[in-house]
């Protein structure tokens, strides 16, 4: 029988298994998790001939290296980066064949943060609550990859896409996040709410899969004290005691006690996943329909 698996030669700074996440378990305290840039993950799956539900690898900044135990088709997308197979340049954003025993090298991102790697058949680690995603907050799913990890692969279900390359959105030079009012807008002064939508922030190096942290002016509260813990949603803009807005991403906690003056439009969160530290960030208010 063919040994359909990948061996991790170089795990990189943070490489995790991700799919579309495990929605519907917030009442159990389980975050949705899943790929931070869902359109990029969906595209590499399509290029590799996988279903949209197949698990992919999400790398952070410096990529990873993988040895194929059997011949596989891969697709690399998301943050642009150099790609090699057996030391020879290969395509980014297109299906690539990796012969048995050869190494796929996913290099350092030249822009953006997170690169996605799909392999024909998908990464077939054991699902937890219906998902193969690594959740850094709760610890559910497989742990982040380490050198020597063996990743089982599923059987291919369709041929790879028949194209040379496809266009993909560039990582943002400026991150613009559309927001609607949150449940605790009244906990902030009019000046703070005005600052939130008129002043340019910057993405903080302390950002991670749980949340995108910001650097810039602090937001002044109109009330003292703290809230009892209440439900938190993907894209919630929470303001902790330091006054700097924090945008909750895929591995966010399901409850929190700090006020939420705004919520980011879900379609804009893929850009947040690719915004490097120092990227200018603006919040733009939109009306609810």
Q: Which fold has domain 175-285?
A: Cyclophilin (2.40.100)
The CATH 2.40.100.10 portion of the chain extends over 175-285
How far, in Å, CA of 167 to CA of 160, rounded?
Answer: 17
Phi-psi region of 164 (alpha: psi -120 to 50; beta: other; left: phi over 0): alpha
Threshold 0.85, pTM exceeds: yes
pLDDT of residue 2: 63
DSSP letters spanning 52-84: TT--EEEEESS-EEEEESS-EEEEEEES---EE
Q: Terminus-to-terminus CA distance in the chain, angstroms? A: 56
The number of beta carbons lying within 10 Å of the beta carbon of residue 260 is 25
Q: Which residue has the tokens 């803009």?
A: 237
Q: Rounded to 5 degrees, what angle do the CA atoms 205, 143, 67 make?
A: 95
C-alpha distances out from residue 118 to 27, 40, 46, Å? 31, 10, 9
For residue 27, the model assigns a pLDDT of: 86
Q: What is the pLDDT of residue 1?
A: 42
Q: Is the CA virtual torsion 91, 92, 95, 100 positive or negative?
A: positive
Collect all residues with Cβ–Cβ distance below 8 Å to 231 and sequence separation of at least 6: 26, 254, 255
pLDDT score for 164: 60
Do the bridges between strand 175-181 and strand 280-285 make them parallel or antiparallel, or are there none, so unpaired?
A: parallel
Distance CA 24, CA 234 (A): 12
**83, 24 Cβ separation under 8 angstroms:** no
Q: Are 11 and 87 in contact (CB under 8 A)?
A: no
Per-residue pLDDT tens listing for the chain (289 residues): 468 999 999 999 999 999 999 998 888 889 899 999 999 999 999 999 999 999 999 999 999 999 999 999 999 999 999 999 999 999 999 999 999 999 999 999 999 999 999 999 999 999 999 999 999 999 999 999 999 999 999 999 888 887 766 677 788 899 999 999 999 999 999 999 999 999 999 999 999 999 999 999 999 999 988 889 999 999 999 999 999 999 999 999 999 999 999 999 999 999 999 999 999 999 999 976 5
Instruction: Tell how far CA 134 is from the center of its chain.
Output: 11
Q: CA quadruple 213, 76, 52, 177: dihedral positive or negative? A: positive
Which two structure tokens, joined as six digits, stand for 239?
């303001």
């Amino acid at each position: 029988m063919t040994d359909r698996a990948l061996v991790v030669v170089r795990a990189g700074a943070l490489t995790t298994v991700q799919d579309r996440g495990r929605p519907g378990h917030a009442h159990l305290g389980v975050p949705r998790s899943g790929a931070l840039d869902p359109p990029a993950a969906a595209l590499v799956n399509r290029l590799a001939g996988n279903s949209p539900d197949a698990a992919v690898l999400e790398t952070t900044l410096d990529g990873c290296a993988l040895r194929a135990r059997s011949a596989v088709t891969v697709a690399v997308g998301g943050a642009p980066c150099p790609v090699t197979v057996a030391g020879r340049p290969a395509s980014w954003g297109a299906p690539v064949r990796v012969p048995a025993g050869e190494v796929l090298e996913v290099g350092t991102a030249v822009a953006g943060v997170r690169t996605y790697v799909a392999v024909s058949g998908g990464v077939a680690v054991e699902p937890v609550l219906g998902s193969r995603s690594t959740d850094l907050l709760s610890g559910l799913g497989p742990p982040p990859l380490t050198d020597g990890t063996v990743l089982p692969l599923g059987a291919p279900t369709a041929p790879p896409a028949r194209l040379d390359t496809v266009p993909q959105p560039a990582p943002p030079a400026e991150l613009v996040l559309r927001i609607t009012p949150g449940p605790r807008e009244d906990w902030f002064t009019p000046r703070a709410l005005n600052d939130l939508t008129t002043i340019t922030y910057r993405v903080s190096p302390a950002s991670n899969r749980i949340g995108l942290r910001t650097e810039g002016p602090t937001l002044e509260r109109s009330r003292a004290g703290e809230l009892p813990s209440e439900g938190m949603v993907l894209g919630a803009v929470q303001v902790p005691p330091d006054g700097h807005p924090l945008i909750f991403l895929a591995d966010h906690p399901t409850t929190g006690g700090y006020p939420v003056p705004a919520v980011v439009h879900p379609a804009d969160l893929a850009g947040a996943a690719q915004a490097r530290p120092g990227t200018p960030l603006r919040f733009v208010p939109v009306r609810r329909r």
